[in-house]
Structure 1
Amino acid sequence: MLPSWLTEPLWDQFALLLPARPVYHPDHPLGCHRRRISDRVVFDKVLQLLRFGCSYEAIADTTCSATTFRSRRDEWIRLGVFAEFKRIALECYDRIVGLVLDRIAVDGAITKAPGGGEVTGHSPVDRGKQGLKRSGMTDGYGIPLGRVLAGANRHDSPLLAPTLDLLDDLGPLPDDITVHLDAGYDSDKTRALLAERGLHGRIAHKGEKAPIQASQRWHVERTHAWQNAFQRLARCYERRAVVIDAFFDLADTVITVRSVIRRAWMTHRWDGRPHRRP
């Protein structure tokens, strides 16, 4: 499970995004219906599910049923809580540490999706089994900025445009931005796309062996590894795209807040600060 120095600040902010709810349902004639399951209990269950990747039924217990878990998850998705949670985390990181937006990296990653779903396809690296591809984008340090979901049979290159569109949500951008890409994007179409957007491209060339450290695209590879440490993302059983995006938003928030704490540990003091650098 995630350590308390990380889960407590996550919950403190997440709770502020939730609407106020009465302990008992107001429409009950006697006003004494079964108490509503605490949002904190469900939030902890969501983190456990994200981290360990087990089924809803396996993680359910006397404190929260699988049905309540799913309904509360869907309620939070409808309210846009997970997306707003991630946006606040990025703003916090940018204010305390600073996003490195003059260089970004984009790359695709394929994971298993045994249950199929809206954004799955036959995986070319897993004997045609169902798989999920994400086209992820990070800043120059590796902070996840967003992703586009697609079937595993989609090529990385056509997903570049919708991935770069996510930059519009980040507010003011530097005048000079370099996009680091691997050889899968090595084409005139990609270079034209970057030129239309006023972006510079540093693209690995097909047929030329070069270590990943030759450019700054290794940051996005590391971020994919961070995301795959959450078993719910490494082996996705969710079928709806909005649910998958919600879990990715939560994972990206955890990664961002963890990076804030790690990088601010030497320069800031606060209540609940870890005794040693995480």
Structure 2
Amino acid sequence: MPALPSWLIDPLWDQFAALLPERPVYDPRHPLGCHRRRIDDRIVFDKLIQVLRFGCSYEAIADAACSATTIRNRRDEWLAAGVFARLKTIALDSYDRIVGLVLDDIAVDGCITKAPGGGEVAGPSPVDRRKQGMKRSLLVEGYGIPLGRVLAGANRHDSPLLAPTLDCLDELGPLPERITVHLDSGYDSGKTRDLLTGRGLHGKIAVKGLKAPVQASGRWHVERTNSWHNAFNKLQRCYERRERVIDAFFDLADAVITVHALIRRACTTHRWDTRPAHRR
């Protein structure tokens, strides 16, 4: 069973392959001019997608076609070349060009997940008997497309992570004149309001003490995107220890989410040869 349907993976791979540097099939440094063939990049890409989706270890997903060492080495090679971050940026730009980002309404929220192996962005979780956990402060636009994130230990409060999360807006270019930021009651403080005012943003913050359904606003988009991220078991229970590797998997997941939303919404307005038969 594939990790994700081919109509979603194939366009991702086409763009991913275009970003990869040229590499010979055989290692030219071999004294006899021959060596084992280099494992095809598509095989390693599919393995990384399966690791992301199922959350299994590299050893568990390795087989005769590709070893766990090859997966790790190729992952680090692509990470050093910035391929994952560029893939996410291209997917976001494509969505903005075809569908359009809703940037006048954005939402920010934190989400705590498990990090049993500890690492650079892990800390004692206040909701899991102080076991190692990770918090992501996520920024999304009005439909729920992820725009950026900040990773921290699970013991960090949401409010101090708001400023670095909003810094992700600087990478998006021209912004609307009036932007409304939807936040939950964890951000209900004068410090948060001063921060938003200083950045020229309008805050719609849930008030402490009132039930969430009474004051539910645009925050449900970020809640839905958090559930999309948690559908990738690698992000829900992360054993990676290095922050840059975790960021790479988040960039890959963001690209999957963005392209899926792009294809799903463009199905009603555009036609192309490989368009899926049904909106999923």
Q: Secondary structure at the match of 1:8?
A: helix
- What is the letter of the counterpart of residue 117 of structure 1? G
> How much does 1:31 deviate?
1.4
CA deviation digits over 1:55-79, x for unaligned, max 9?
0000001111101100100011111
- What is the letter of the counterpart of residue 194 of structure 2? A
* Percent of aligned pairs sharing the same letter: 76
Q: Distance in 2 between matches of 1:85 and 1:52?
A: 21
Would the alpha carbon gap of residues 212 and 238 (structure 1) be closer, same or farther in structure 2, given more than 3 Å must change? farther
CA deviation digits over 1:113-160, x for unaligned, max 9?
000000000000001100000000000000000100000000000000
Q: Secondary structure at the match of 1:211?
A: helix
- What is the letter of the counterpart of residue 60 of structure 1? A
Aligned residues of 1:100 and 1:141 also touching (Cα < 8 A): yes
In the alignment, structure 1 residue 98 sits paired with structure 2 residue 100? yes
> How much does 1:212 deviate?
7.4
2:41 — aligned with what?
39
CA deviation digits over 1:242-272, x for unaligned, max 9?
0000000000100000000000001111121
Q: Give runs of aligned pairs for residues 244-263 of structure 1, distance below 5 A.
A: 244-263=246-265
Q: Which runs of 4+ in 1 moved over 4 A?
A: none
Q: Distance in 2 between matches of 1:213 and 1:115?
A: 38
Query: TM-score, normalised on structure 2?
Result: 0.98
Q: Secondary structure at the match of 1:7?
A: helix
Select 1:203's aligned residue among 181, 194, 205: 205
Aligned residues of 2:183 and 2:219 also touching (Cα < 8 A): yes
How many residues are matched? 278
Select 2:186's aligned residue among 184, 187, 190: 184
Where do 5+ consecutive residues of structure 1 fail to align? Answer: none
Query: TM-score, normalised on structure 1?
Result: 0.99
1:13 — aligned with what?
15
1:171 — aligned with what?
173
1:134 — aligned with what?
136
Select 1:144's aligned residue among 137, 143, 146: 146
Higher mean alpha-carbon deviation, 18-27 vs 207-216, is at: 207-216
Would the alpha carbon gap of residues 213 and 270 (structure 1) be closer, same or farther in structure 2, given more than 3 Å must change? farther
In the alignment, structure 1 residue 67 sits paired with structure 2 residue 66? no
Aligned residues of 2:150 and 2:164 also touching (Cα < 8 A): yes
Aligned residues of 1:212 and 1:218 also touching (Cα < 8 A): no
Higher mean alpha-carbon deviation, 203-212 vs 153-162, is at: 203-212
Aligned residues of 1:6 and 1:257 also touching (Cα < 8 A): yes
- What is the letter of the counterpart of residue 41 of structure 1? I
> How much does 1:214 deviate?
2.1
1:273 — aligned with what?
275
